[in-house]
């Protein structure tokens, strides 16, 4: 009975988890350099931002799109699985 609520909560919290991981990677506290990470890519691209804007823009767009996708997916799951809406 509580499994749909747990699944919905996890999908809605994934955006926060992704933003937290990207923020820690931006600060240098995330995965170490051989591992690709969006926050670390954004942090590394800061020094090239004026000449090569896409080095910073594409990882930022990836973070935004994936976070939005998880939020929309969680909202859709809530509409489908919420027993109180019926």
Domain boundaries, given as residue ranges, for the chain: 15-85
DSSP strand E in the chain: where?
none
Distance CA 86, CA 84 (A): 6
Residue that has been written with the tokens 């996890």 in this structure: 10
Return the pLDDT at 42. Answer: 92
Q: Are 23 and 17 in contact (CB under 8 A)?
A: no
Kindly report whether the global pTM for this prediction surpasses the value 0.85. no
What was the pLDDT predicted at 17? 94
Question: Which tokens sit at 43?
Answer: 């942090």
pLDDT score at 41: 92
Across the chain, which has 86 residues, the per-10-residue mean pLDDT values are: 85 93 93 88 91 93 96 90 70
């Amino acid at each position: 009975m509580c499994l749909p609520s747990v699944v919905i909560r996890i999908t809605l919290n994934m955006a926060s988890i992704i933003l937290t991981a990207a923020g820690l990677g931006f600060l240098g506290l995330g995965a170490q350099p051989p591992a690709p990470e969006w926050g670390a890519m954004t942090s590394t691209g800061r020094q090239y931002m004026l000449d090569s804007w896409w080095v910073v823009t594409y990882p930022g767009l990836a973070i935004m799109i994936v976070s939005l996708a998880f939020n929309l997916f969680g909202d859709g799951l809530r509409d489908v699985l919420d027993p109180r809406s019926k």
